[in-house]
A and B are shown apart, each in its own frame.
Chain A
Amino acid sequence: MANDTTYLSEIHEIRVDENSPLFDKTGLLYKEFPSDYRQIRYFTLLIVQSAPLEIKEINLLEQQISEVIKNAVKHGNRCKPEKKVRVWYSFDSSHAQLIVQDEGEGFKDLEKWNEFNRKRLEILSKQDYEGLADYVSFRTQKSDDNDGGNALFAALEYWNGGFVYNNKRNAVAMLKKFPQKKHAIG
């Protein structure tokens, strides 16, 4: 299990760090899937069902995991069923850790995305909602009508323990730390 706090301050940028402890696979469970677009939610369910019932945001966790798998299936492996998506994962009541790897050529536009996100956050901090209209979705030539482009914005905010790619940019590792239950009075 990774426990790296340096990432907490850099949550607004996707980092490339192959040596991150988040890529450490010891103790993680493993499953692999064919890149079948139709089964993305099914695969997600297979992974999430080993999460403890006490996690109160399980819907949100499921959704965030499905986004990462969707990215791997759709953009990484181009929905080719013979290409595999490999997932290492581990859950308990305090954290959720995932590594998702595809067989693609990697997230080439990563730097562009960071730049785009930076501008987006700037506009948001100015509350310029008119200008935001141009920054709600990240599109590249390969995007289609159904690409929200929003998944990564949310992912960066959600995986508060870190969200990093390997050098080849075809594997992403992430960590979520769940807030522990507070006492009733305090």
Chain B
Amino acid sequence: MTVSSFTLMLESAWPARLLSLAIAAALFAYLRRKDTEGQFSLYLAALAFLFVRDTVLALFPLDGLMVVSDILHYCFALFIFIYPYKAARLVLLPALVLNLALAALFAADSALGFLGPLPERVVALALPVNAILIGLVAFLRRKEGAGRQIPGMIWPFAAALLLGYGASVVAFGYAAPAVERLAVPLSYAWLLMAALAALEQHDRQLLSAVAYYEGSIDSLYNLLLGTGSALKGEFTTEELLKSMNEAIAAETGADGGVIFLVDEFDDLIVCKSYVGSYPPPVSLPESLPRKQNRVETFMKHIQFRLGEGVFGDVAKTGRNVFIPDVAKDPRIVINGEEDFLRISSFMAAPLMVGDKIIGLVSVVRKDAARPFEEADFDRLKLLANFGTLSVSSFFSYLEARERSGLEQSADIAADIQRSIIPKKVPQFPGLGLGAFSLPARGVSGDYFDVIRTRPDRVVCIVGDVAGKGVSAALIMVMIRAILHLVTNTNKDIATVLNWVNKGITGKIDLDHYATLAVIAADTRTGEVEYANAAHQPVLVFRRSSGAVETLDLKSLPIGVERATEYGRKALRLAAGDLVVMYTDGIVEAMNEQGKQYGRKGLAQVVERHRDLPAKEIAAKIKGDLAAFVGSVRQHDDQTVVVLKMSQ
């Protein structure tokens, strides 16, 4: 290309046209990044086509090129403006074919001249005709949804422009300077409009997204307000769930809402909250009268197994359910047309704490003309998540109380026990004492106490409370309290046991039992009183004869019968005599071979070390037992109290 031809180009209409095209192209290119539907490709293709046409024309001013290319240009427009209207596509194909045929014919004729010179301006009639077609179709179809797209936004302008341009070509021809320099660049304006319309569409989308998020934040705020006030004051699970339920139903525009909670023990879900009017989406039992109050009450207390029906499925799998039109869906049963039986639209979402499903929320609408929409479903999911989050600390508390409530109460029980088991046993000039108590698995059912009732009188108690946890620990506290009170009186120890028994039996709903063995000793004279409530027999080791006696009294444990009368035995200890009290965890302790330690094992270790002071004998028993059981885990508490008359 020479400099002169380039100068010619510059002085022609080319730059002006190029500018229009460039602006439109720039806008489309910018929006193309956001365009996921590829609808802009067509516009860009049209722009590219026109650019090529203009450049070629500037370099090679061919006759007839304008009209042929304009027909093609209008074909683009035809496609863009008619294609979105499905019904009108029937017209599109023939129109395009005719246009293309015309263009081809004229081009062939210009090149080969077999039809004689066709007047350009007559052929150009196709342009205004196309424009009218575009306008007609768009006008007739203007109510269709395609109207929200770009063609729908700019068709009046585009049609008018293309009509005007076409008319001017027919009237004045391409050679006219006004047409060449003004009309042609102006004809690109519709593409420019399309670009601007695309921009506006983009803005509109942004605005609607912002509006949606604002709406979500409002809903969340309302939810928090509702549940927050429930959390502030006195709250029960029912009230908390009620606020959450009401908030969710309001924000999703529902007619009724229910919340189910999972009952872990039974693998059931139970309806715990009901607001508005929520007809049962399951078959009603035949015997249930179809009256509003009966049906409502039925729904308010309804239960399902995990996995049963649509609710059970949500609770088991954690899947959301969205059924905007229940009519065709087999999961939902409509029991009738009455207002209290009819459902038209249904949604459900699980309530989760961490990855644990604790329940579900569900809402319904009854008006078939107003089904739930995707936005409502999104809202439900958001609120279900958020609602559970904001009250999850409460639900976690319930769950923790449920699950590790046992651990917690075991801790409390252990604390209580630690505080009442004596840390040190008193010693007397005439009588030495030794003891140990080893709990199994942190919660001891064993109890022992050494009470100095008078300077020279001591009462030793060893007991075993049946059951575990806080309630057993509390029983221990009660027994200890009664014992401390009663041993200070002058009553004999059998009466003491009677009183302990009366104090415990029947006081509480749940049965609680304990065994007790009581030894009351005069530390100077060695006179001993023994009483027993079903506890292990007490061993007495006589120094002089080397004999081992068993002290026992057949009796009922504490807590079985209120009127039980306990008996007692009396004996006298001589110097060097030993008394050993213990719990069944000692004699029933098993080693790896499955053998029990037994009374024999206990007696043997005591006899071996009978010359040691009571404290050391207790330590020897502890060591021997540990050696016996080896690594076998012990399932019962082990307690020993040793009394030795000084020598």
Q: A residues within 8 Å of B by Cβ? A: 26-27, 29-31, 36, 38-39, 41-42, 45-46, 49-50, 53-54, 56-57, 184-186
B355 touches A184 (CB 8 A): yes
B513 within 8 A of A: yes
A151 to B499, CA, bound (A): 36
Nearest opposing residue in chain B for A47, CB measure? B466
Q: A42-B513, A45-B511, A49-B468 are in contact. Are A186 and B557 (CB under 8 A)?
A: no
The residues of B that contact A53 with a CB separation of less than 8 Å are: 406-407, 410, 468-469
B601 within 8 A of A: no
B473 within 8 A of A: no
A49 to B475, CA, bound (A): 15
Nearest opposing residue in chain A for B265, CB measure? A56
B264 touches A56 (CB 8 A): yes
B407 touches A185 (CB 8 A): no
Nearest opposing residue in chain B for A29, CB measure? B635
A179 to B556, CA, bound (A): 37
B608 within 8 A of A: no
Nearest opposing residue in chain A for B468, CB measure? A49
The residues of A that contact B354 with a CB separation of less than 8 Å are: 184
The residues of A that contact B264 with a CB separation of less than 8 Å are: 56
A186 to B319, CA, bound (A): 10
The residues of A that contact B356 with a CB separation of less than 8 Å are: 184
The residues of B that contact A29 with a CB separation of less than 8 Å are: 588, 590, 635
B576 within 8 A of A: no
B422 within 8 A of A: no
The residues of B that contact A27 with a CB separation of less than 8 Å are: 594
A22 to B355, CA, bound (A): 39
Nearest opposing residue in chain A for B352, CB measure? A184
Q: Which 5 A-B pairs have the closest CB atoms?
A: A45-B466, A184-B356, A185-B318, A53-B406, A42-B513
A185 touches B445 (CB 8 A): no
B164 within 8 A of A: no
* Contacting residues of chain B (114-166) with chain A, CB-CB under 8 angstroms: none
* A interface, over-half SS: loop
Number of cross-chain contacts by CB at 8 Å = 55
Q: A27-B594, A38-B556, A42-B466 are in contact. Are A186 and B636 (CB under 8 A)?
A: no
Nearest opposing residue in chain B for A26, CB measure? B594
The residues of A that contact B318 with a CB separation of less than 8 Å are: 184-185
Q: A50-B636, A53-B407, A185-B357 are in contact. Are A42 and B561 (CB under 8 A)?
A: no
* Contacting residues of chain B (437-466) with chain A, CB-CB under 8 angstroms: 445, 466
A50 to B635, CA, bound (A): 6
The residues of A that contact B265 with a CB separation of less than 8 Å are: 56-57
A57 to B635, CA, bound (A): 20
Distance (whole angstroms) from the CB of A184 to the closest CB of chain B: 4
B503 within 8 A of A: no
B557 touches A42 (CB 8 A): yes
Distance (whole angstroms) from the CB of B213 to the closest CB of chain A: 28
Nearest opposing residue in chain A for B316, CB measure? A186
A39 to B588, CA, bound (A): 20
A45 touches B355 (CB 8 A): no
B560 within 8 A of A: yes
A53 to B414, CA, bound (A): 15
Nearest opposing residue in chain B for A28, CB measure? B594
Nearest opposing residue in chain A for B357, CB measure? A184
B467 within 8 A of A: yes
A4 to B316, CA, bound (A): 30
The residues of A that contact B513 with a CB separation of less than 8 Å are: 41-42, 45
The residues of A that contact B635 with a CB separation of less than 8 Å are: 29, 50
A41 to B264, CA, bound (A): 26
B355 touches A46 (CB 8 A): no
B407 touches A49 (CB 8 A): no
Can you give 29 contacting A-B residue pairs, CB < 8 Å?
A27-B594, A30-B596, A38-B556, A38-B560, A38-B561, A39-B557, A39-B560, A41-B511, A41-B513, A42-B513, A42-B557, A45-B466, A45-B467, A45-B513, A46-B466, A50-B635, A53-B407, A53-B410, A53-B468, A53-B469, A54-B406, A56-B264, A184-B318, A184-B352, A184-B355, A184-B356, A185-B317, A185-B357, A186-B317
A29-B635, A57-B265 known, 17 other contacts, Cβ within 8 Å: A26-B594, A39-B557, A39-B560, A41-B513, A42-B513, A42-B557, A42-B560, A45-B511, A49-B467, A49-B468, A53-B468, A56-B264, A184-B352, A184-B354, A184-B357, A185-B317, A186-B316
Chain B, residues 59-102, CB within 8 Å of chain A (1/0): the string is 00000000000000000000000000000000000000000000
A27 to B410, CA, bound (A): 27
A140 to B401, CA, bound (A): 46
The residues of A that contact B355 with a CB separation of less than 8 Å are: 184-185
The residues of B that contact A30 with a CB separation of less than 8 Å are: 588, 596
Distance (whole angstroms) from the CB of A99 to the closest CB of chain B: 14
Distance (whole angstroms) from the CB of A143 to the closest CB of chain B: 25
Distance (whole angstroms) from the CB of B46 to the closest CB of chain A: 52
Distance (whole angstroms) from the CB of B588 to the closest CB of chain A: 8
The residues of B that contact A45 with a CB separation of less than 8 Å are: 466-467, 511, 513
A42 touches B590 (CB 8 A): no
Chain B, residues 392-416, CB within 8 Å of chain A (1/0): the string is 0000000000000011001000000
Distance (whole angstroms) from the CB of B438 to the closest CB of chain A: 15
A56 to B264, CA, bound (A): 9
A184 to B317, CA, bound (A): 8
* Contacting residues of chain B (504-538) with chain A, CB-CB under 8 angstroms: 511, 513
Distance (whole angstroms) from the CB of A67 to the closest CB of chain B: 16
Distance (whole angstroms) from the CB of B384 to the closest CB of chain A: 15
The residues of A that contact B588 with a CB separation of less than 8 Å are: 29-31
The residues of A that contact B559 with a CB separation of less than 8 Å are: 42
A50 to B466, CA, bound (A): 10
Nearest opposing residue in chain A for B443, CB measure? A53
A42 touches B636 (CB 8 A): no
A36 to B560, CA, bound (A): 11
Distance (whole angstroms) from the CB of A42 to the closest CB of chain B: 4
The residues of B that contact A185 with a CB separation of less than 8 Å are: 317-318, 355, 357
A34 to B104, CA, bound (A): 114
Residue in A38, A49, A57, A184 whose beta carbon sits within 8 Å of that of B466 in the complex: A49
The residues of B that contact A39 with a CB separation of less than 8 Å are: 556-557, 560
The residues of A that contact B557 with a CB separation of less than 8 Å are: 39, 42
A54 to B355, CA, bound (A): 20
Nearest opposing residue in chain B for A56, CB measure? B265
A118 to B432, CA, bound (A): 67
Nearest opposing residue in chain B for A25, CB measure? B594
Chain B, residues 302-329, CB within 8 Å of chain A (1/0): the string is 0000000000000011100000000000
The residues of A that contact B316 with a CB separation of less than 8 Å are: 186
Nearest opposing residue in chain A for B466, CB measure? A45
* Contacting residues of chain B (251-266) with chain A, CB-CB under 8 angstroms: 264-265
The residues of A that contact B556 with a CB separation of less than 8 Å are: 36, 38-39
The residues of B that contact A31 with a CB separation of less than 8 Å are: 588
* Contacting residues of chain B (621-640) with chain A, CB-CB under 8 angstroms: 635-636
A55 to B511, CA, bound (A): 20
The residues of B that contact A42 with a CB separation of less than 8 Å are: 466, 511, 513, 557, 559-560
A38 to B556, CA, bound (A): 9
A49 to B410, CA, bound (A): 13
